[in-house]
Amino acid sequence: MKKRNLLILMILVGTNINAAIFIKTDKGYIKQTEELKGSLNNILKTLGYESNMYYTYSNSEKESDIRLVCFKNLTTDIICVFTENNVLDVREQEVKVYLSNFDFSNVYSTYSREEDLKEGIERKNLSIEFLAEALKIPYNINSKDTMLICNNFKYNLYFKEGYLCKFESSDGYNSSAKEFMEQNPDYFKIMKLFAQEYWGKDEEQIKNELNVQCEALYNIPDGFENEYLDRFSLKYGCYNFKIVSVLYYKDKITLREFKDICHSNVKFISTEIIEEQELYVYEYKNAFFAFLNDGTLATAVP
């Protein structure tokens, strides 16, 4: 194993780190002269950052003395840089070269952001000062029970006694849709166009469909390479991910949701009585779905 990969592995698994640390300041990168021992979490905690207040990036493909870069969560603001132990200084250009392949949305996904926020709520350690500074949101320093609007990621952040207590999406999209939109903006627009053709100007239904389909996409094995997708291909190169998830991976769906996600392109087949229960059987692309009287899915047959 290459030396750089070994160091990164040691950092990630929590082994004591033997590396030089350079703190990012307005004057550049200043080498930490005080010896900091322990795991990455312990070192960052000494610098004032709990585990849900930062994320890391490493690029083992780059020939560089830099081994790891730590960022303040929700931002691309660098906290510090880890290098080989014998490095005396780090220049801005070196860091830029090391980060040349850095992609924020891939390195620090929507899922990771929301997990950090949830952990902050549980631990009560994300203060209004920390988040307002990180997200560059103006706030009243005398107001501890308030809400901040995060336009960067489309969240409403709620604070009680000065700490984050709740957050919610402000644009109507769930975490799966947000993440897919960031990572695949062109295809997301195609999915939205397909939804708009059916729902017209009903933004709530359009967003609901995109939320459902993106969540299903992330839940099915192999994503776009899933073996069953072609059977449920749609217009513009879209797919009915939700139906694949229901049909082959035991996902849940109601009759109303079934009709909506299939754009009413379903055919009522029959009413059946099985074990004294009335079932309503529908067909969609040669697959069969039986629903109970209350709209609950009873069974699905490919």
191 and 297 part of one domain: yes
Q: For the chain, give the mean pLDDT.
A: 92
Q: Which are the contacts of 158, defined by CB distance < 8 A and separation ≥ 6?
A: 146, 147, 164, 165, 166, 167, 168
Report which of residues 7 and 140 the model is more confident about: 140
Q: Lowest mean pLDDT: which of 13-22, 77-86, 122-131?
A: 13-22
Q: Residue 232 is part of which domain span?
A: 175-301
User: Residue 7: CB partners within 8 Å, gap ≥ 6?
Assistant: 17, 18, 19, 67, 68, 82
Residues 134, 73 share a domain = no
The total number of residues shown for the chain amounts to 302
- Say yes or no: 46 and 79 in one domain: yes
Task: Note the pLDDT tens digit of each residue in 27-60.
Answer: 999 999 887 778 899 999 999 999 999 999 998 8
Residue where a domain stops, chosen among 143, 169, 195: 169
Predicted confidence band at 6 (pLDDT cuts at 50, 70, 90)?
very low
**Residue 16: band (very low, low, confident or very high) from pLDDT cuts 50, 70, 90:** low
Q: Are residues 119 and 226 in the same domain?
A: no
**Distance in angstroms (rounded) separating the CA atoms of residues 99 and 66:** 10
Q: Coil, strand or helix: which one is 158?
A: strand
Same domain, 182 and 120: no
Q: Is the pTM of this model over 0.75?
A: yes
Claim to verify: residue 187 and residue 287 sit in the same structural domain:
yes
Residue 261: exposure state from Cβ atoms within 10 A (0-12, 13-18, ≥19) = buried
Give the span between the Cα atoms of 217 and 61, in whole angstroms: 30
Write down which residue in 169, 189, 220 finishes a domain: 169
What digits encode the pLDDT tens for the residues 186-202?
999 999 999 999 999 99
Q: Is 241 found in the same domain as 128?
A: no
Beta bridge partners of 299: 290
| Rounded to 5°, angle at Cα 264 from 262 and 268 | 105
User: Rounded to the nearest 5°, which phi and psi values hold at 278?
Assistant: -85, 125
Judge if 129 and 89 occupy the same domain. Answer: no
**Same structural domain, 179 and 99:** no
Question: How many domains are contained in the chain?
Answer: 3
- Say yes or no: 122 and 72 in one domain: no
Query: What are residue 83's phi and psi, to 5 degrees?
Result: -135, 180
Gap between the Cα atoms of 176 and 46, Å rounded: 34
- Helix spans in 29-72 (H): 40-46
**Which residue, 135, 152, 169, sits at the end of a domain?**
169
Domain check: are 228 and 135 in the same one? no
One domain for residues 63 and 135? no
The sign of the CA dihedral 120, 124, 125, 130 is positive
